[in-house]
Structure 1
Amino acid sequence: MTIPHTRPELVAPAGSLRALKLAVDAGADAVYLGLRNATNARNFAGLNFDLPQIREGVAYAHARGRKVLVALNTFVRAADPKPWYEAVDCAAELGADALICADVAVMAYARDHHPALRLHLSVQASATSHEAIAFYRQHYGIQRAVLPRVLTLSQVGHLLRNAEVEIEVFGFGSLCVMVEGRCALSSYATGQSPNNAGVCSPPSAVRWTDTPAGVESRLGGLLIDRYAPDEPRGYPTLCKGRFDVGGRRDYAIEEPTSLNTLAILPELMAIGVRAIKLEGRQRSPAYVEQITRVWRQAIDAAATAAAAGAPGRYRVEPAWTATLGHLAEGQQHTLGAYERPWQ
């Protein structure tokens, strides 16, 4: 069973060396990053790190007492596992504090060749029960699990009461509503997905077109949505498209909004969540800096209130909401599965 912590670790995204430094300076306890290849699930052109940049980033973070987590969270190609194994060796040599892994082959290689290196179970592994997490702990020695964004608060609490590893949850950012690590929708439309190529809805497959009926967004030639001229537009993914279903045109699965758990931060802390993760390695360094600064202030405020024995004193500041609202996908927020009345 995990031990509750009053101040969870703030884990910020870094798609570039500039973003890493800004996240550290804005108060992140740890940053997570990926290599410039298909071993990470944000394999977009122009993003991620080469070896000299990782070395510099690790040195910058460690000099300030912060951690660097390396995401090796795609699934190994059976015909050629070498790039993933080399990435594990590289992360260990460069001084990474932990690996974020989804594939058991990657975890087994790290366990056998770098036993001192911490392993975090990626959200891509889709572990939504304490039994699943226990399997990875027993066989591969994981020390933390990142939960998919499909669990209610009570389900997270139940998992925490029975888990024997640290638990990390997403606090803010683009909301994946499918079974993370198992989604095939992007592959269906484009031939690429986070699972194999490290990219969901690759920009090369995205098209925006002005038409008399409105602005159309397409993915791999498929019409995802059609917008009025002044209507907020989300990035086109199949799971967040509007479709004609049963004679009604609406978001069939989920709206293009950002997860924002500021309102339930004290509850997440009270049940023992060990780390709050911010999504956005594909976003700009300015975005990373702003969301990290907001969440640093929020976590500190909630921890101060809890330490005083008055967690009810915590309030979501209007300035925090305004900043995150401006940066949210479609400029809309949601608590996601945390507030699903049907669960």
Structure 2
Amino acid sequence: MRSPHVPELVCPAGTPAALRAAVDAGADSVYCGFCDETNARNFPGLNFTPAELGEGARYAHAGGAKVLVAINTFPRAGALGTWHRAIDEAARAGADAVILADIGLLAYARERHPDLRRHLSVQAAAANADAIRFYVEEFGVRRVVLPRVLTVNEIAAINKEVSCETEVFVFGGLCVMAEGRCSLSSYATGKSPNMNGVCSPASHVHYREEKGELVSRLGEFTIDRVPRHEPAPYPTLCKGCFSAGDYRGHVFEYPVSLDAAALVPQLLKAGVTAFKIEGRQRSRSYIRDVVTSFRRAVDAEVAGEPIPPGALQRLSEGQTTTAGAYRKTWR
């Protein structure tokens, strides 16, 4: 049987080249951010200038895709202008929506750009119907990106009670914390992913050889040790390898990626509007392969055909995948 509706495939674009790769691979929408702390992937070498965003929007629109601009960090006191300008630049560049978390920015966008769609970022961590209705009624939010802590049944229950669209993650990195609530990077580096836009900033990452091992550090903290000739993972605190008593291993979280391709039918039945792929910091070849794979999966489900077996494990973190909270086996 044909799926009851066609979901939107929302794909990451950390650079103009990645945006073109995503559009060419079949993305319905791409999401991106500016080269500053207004977005939660504020890494060197990533993101867009206003001119690049305008060019990217024209390329996406010519290919039948939409552009969503993530302005999803929380403004610093006294620096609101930076975030307001980002919303203005997104509207000027022809963005189809802005993805916001801060209620002040939602109010600003509603007042200054009433025709620009407002999506609620996962950074807002709106995980129940009452919270979502608040954003819809007060700020005209049209879509909510749901946190990665909900089961499929919980998502279905929410969709029965809200009037807006819902978007869920289907592939990419996971976080041990509810989005918008993590302080680990702030503790280690003084830089907040929710305000400065970067978790484990590169400026605080250090590698050194020590007794035949390559040691990776974040600020003053040793995150991992590997034999000198083995690849060293990027030192993200929650995915570090630590010693705790007699145990040595991943105390907080294993390096693993979400892969919900097999759950596409259940998520559609639950009323999800859009499927989101994580990975704005990834290469354009990664974007091409992941988007192509999910394009096939979504199209097969919509056509009532079997979903092709996944081939994305090689692109996952630690070459391991999980269904995450969608299947809470610990309950």
TM-score grouping bracket, smaller chain normalisation:
over 0.9
Amino acid paired to 2:148: R
Give the whole-Å Cα distance in 1 for the aligned partners of 2:247 and 2:319: 24
The alpha-carbon deviation at position 238 of structure 1 amounts to 1.6
Contact preservation (8 Å) 1:234, 1:257? no
Q: Quick check: 273-282 or 216-225, which moved more?
A: 216-225
The alpha-carbon deviation at position 253 of structure 1 amounts to 2.2
Contact preservation (8 Å) 2:127, 2:150? yes
Which residue does the alignment assign to 1:168? 167
Which residue does the alignment assign to 1:81? 80
Contact preservation (8 Å) 1:100, 1:119? yes
Give the whole-Å Cα distance in 1 for the aligned partners of 2:127 and 2:229: 39
The alpha-carbon deviation at position 224 of structure 1 amounts to 1.6
Matched, 1:194 2:186: no
Matched, 1:38 2:37: yes
Contact preservation (8 Å) 1:233, 1:330? no
The alpha-carbon deviation at position 114 of structure 1 amounts to 0.8
CA RMSD of aligned residues (A): 1.7
Which residue does the alignment assign to 1:221? 220
Q: Deviations over 1:205-225 (max 9, x none)?
A: 222334336433221120122
Structure 2 counterparts to residues 120-269 of structure 1, below 5 A: 120-212=119-211, 214-228=213-227, 234-269=233-268
Give the whole-Å Cα distance in 1 for the aligned partners of 2:58 and 2:284: 19
Give the whole-Å Cα distance in 1 for the aligned partners of 2:79 and 2:275: 34
Amino acid paired to 2:313: G
TM-score using structure 2 length: 0.94
Contact preservation (8 Å) 1:227, 1:233? yes
Contact preservation (8 Å) 1:234, 1:330? no
Amino acid paired to 1:121: L
Residue ranges of structure 1 left out of the alignment (5+ in a row): 306-312
The alpha-carbon deviation at position 252 of structure 1 amounts to 1.9
Contact preservation (8 Å) 1:167, 1:274? yes
Give the whole-Å Cα distance in 1 for the aligned partners of 2:266 and 2:226: 37
Q: SS of the counterpart of 2:92? A: helix
Give the whole-Å Cα distance in 2 for the aligned partners of 1:168 and 1:121: 10
Give the whole-Å Cα distance in 2 for the aligned partners of 1:70 and 1:5: 28
**Equivalent position to 1:325, from 309, 313, 329:** 313
Which residue does the alignment assign to 1:60? 59
The alpha-carbon deviation at position 300 of structure 1 amounts to 0.5
Contact preservation (8 Å) 2:296, 2:308? no
Contact preservation (8 Å) 2:50, 2:90? no
The alpha-carbon deviation at position 303 of structure 1 amounts to 1.2
The alpha-carbon deviation at position 22 of structure 1 amounts to 0.9
Contact preservation (8 Å) 1:160, 1:272? yes
**Equivalent position to 1:314, from 306, 309, 323:** 306
- State the identity as a percent: 51
Q: SS of the counterpart of 1:162? A: coil
Contact preservation (8 Å) 1:234, 1:329? no
Give the whole-Å Cα distance in 1 for the aligned partners of 2:212 and 2:250: 18
Q: SS of the counterpart of 2:329? A: coil
Q: SS of the counterpart of 1:272? A: coil
Give the whole-Å Cα distance in 1 for the aligned partners of 2:148 and 2:109: 26
Q: Quick check: 74-83 or 25-34, which moved more?
A: 74-83
Contact preservation (8 Å) 1:43, 1:197? yes
Give the whole-Å Cα distance in 2 for the aligned partners of 1:243 and 1:156: 34
Structure 2 counterparts to residues 109-120 of structure 1, below 5 A: 109-120=108-119
Amino acid paired to 1:170: F
Which residue does the alignment assign to 2:24? 25
Give the whole-Å Cα distance in 1 for the aligned partners of 2:93 and 2:269: 35
Contact preservation (8 Å) 1:36, 1:43? yes
TM-score using structure 1 length: 0.91
Give the whole-Å Cα distance in 2 for the aligned partners of 1:38 and 1:240: 23
Amino acid paired to 1:192: K
